[in-house]
Structure 1
């Protein structure tokens, strides 16, 4: 499989290692302003920056190159990318996190939210910790977790740092050197607390998931998620 890496930072380099170890070829390594011919690739993996992600994705879709994107901070244009993918009969996966463990954590989070939804004495809060080079806050993973709670409870929205409404979920975002990613969801009451937590030990899990998704999407058409890739139902 010939892979284009759209973004060649720390994640791009980790993806390269995994891809090569699985017998694939890296044919493009794109930094922000590079001009490339995306048709040289069988599939593209985008871990770029928010200002580049949408253009990277649409370039792939317009040239019928399946694209996997893990870049966060650009999702105001996500629906446009989905519409274009359907129009062009191309293939696209966006995930806020490609880690197998995190995608299982997403499902646990939803199930816990359903179970807690009728227990009004519990206050919900969240925390995410990442390395200091992460550009967006809260993380895309934290937003996905919050959306999973909102879908399965009476909460209306999330807010960063400070809670201004009982209907919202407060998310504290911390930036600490060399932390790949830690996400915690708390349910606190006067009598006890319930906590679920995912801690990434390295970027390897994210990179492996992205390569597995790229392998899976070859030959397919449509807009997919990691639930499709991992057959999580």
Structure 2
């Protein structure tokens, strides 16, 4: 499989290492200095693109993949206001698109645990809920995309919380997310339900980028030859 890496920073290089070890070929290594390789005629040589860039560049990068008829796996965060347009274009142009705020297999299992715990706590109003996320200082968006996904899962189950708020004192109906940026930290997400009697806490701690990178390669392998809109739930059959 020929993979176009759109974003060749630490994550792109971690994906490259795993992809090459699995026998895949890297057809493009696209960073800020050679974005001209995103032109349609060049990108169409790839079987799939893996896009890990910035909130500002993710949306146009995905459009370039669609124009080139290349399936795209996207892990960029902070751009999701454009997600409805991307989904509509994907279906209109019969493309393949897979987005995940986090490709780690462990994190996606953690998502399932988070939803189940939220269901159990939905009718326990004596518990408040809050979240903390820690990442390295180079991460540009806060809260993280993973934290937003976790928060939205909680809001869907716990009706006493109507919205989330980041790094500010919350109202009673708001889910507080505290974002910390500390080096070196690949990523930690903690959800705590607290009452006067006790606390219940679940935490996922990443030890390296390898889990994210390996999941992205698995997603790219799975996406090849498909059309439509997918998530890691589809890849992992969760």
The offset of 1:164, in angstroms, is: 3.0
Task: Determine whether 1:204 maps to 2:205.
Answer: no
Instruction: From 157, 162, 173, give the equivalent of 2:163.
Output: 157
Match of 2:189 among 175, 180, 183: 183
Tell me whether 16-25 or 27-36 shows the greater mean CA deviation: 27-36
Q: Does the 8 Å CA contact 1:114/1:152 hold for their aligned counterparts?
A: yes
Counterpart of 1:215? Answer: 221
Structure 1 unaligned segments of length 5 or more: list them: none
Residue among 47, 58, 74 paired with 2:79: 74
- 1-side partners of 2:102 and 2:87: how far apart? 18
What is the alpha-carbon distance in structure 1 between the residues aligned to residue 169 and residue 201 of structure 2?
19
- The size of the alignment, in residue pairs, is 232
- Contact 1:85-1:92 at 8 Å conserved across structures: yes
- 1:1-233 correspondence to structure 2 within 5 Å: 1-32=1-32, 34-36=35-37, 37-154=42-159, 155-232=161-238
Deviations 1:123-179 (A, max 9, x none): 100000000000000000000000000011111110001233111100000000110
SS of 1:220's equivalent in the other structure is: coil
TM-score by length of 2: 0.96
Contact 1:32 1:52 in 2 (8 A): no
Work out whether residues 32 and 48 of structure 1, in 8 Å CA contact, stay in contact via their aligned partners in 2: no
Kept in 2, the 8 Å contact 1:44–1:68? The answer is yes
Q: Secondary structure at the match of 1:104?
A: helix
Which of structure 1's runs of 4+ aligned residues deviate more than 2 A? none
Task: State the Cα distance separating 1:207 from its structure 2 match.
Answer: 0.1
- Counterparts of 2:4 and 2:150, CA distance in 1: 29
Instruction: Give TM-score scaled by structure 1 length.
Output: 0.98
Q: Any idea what SS the aligned residue of 1:78 has?
A: helix
Task: Tell me whether 158-167 or 38-47 shows the greater mean CA deviation.
Answer: 158-167
Distance 1:211 1:79 in 2: 25
Structure 1 window deviating more from structure 2 (140-149 vs 28-37): it is 28-37
Q: Secondary structure at the match of 1:172?
A: strand
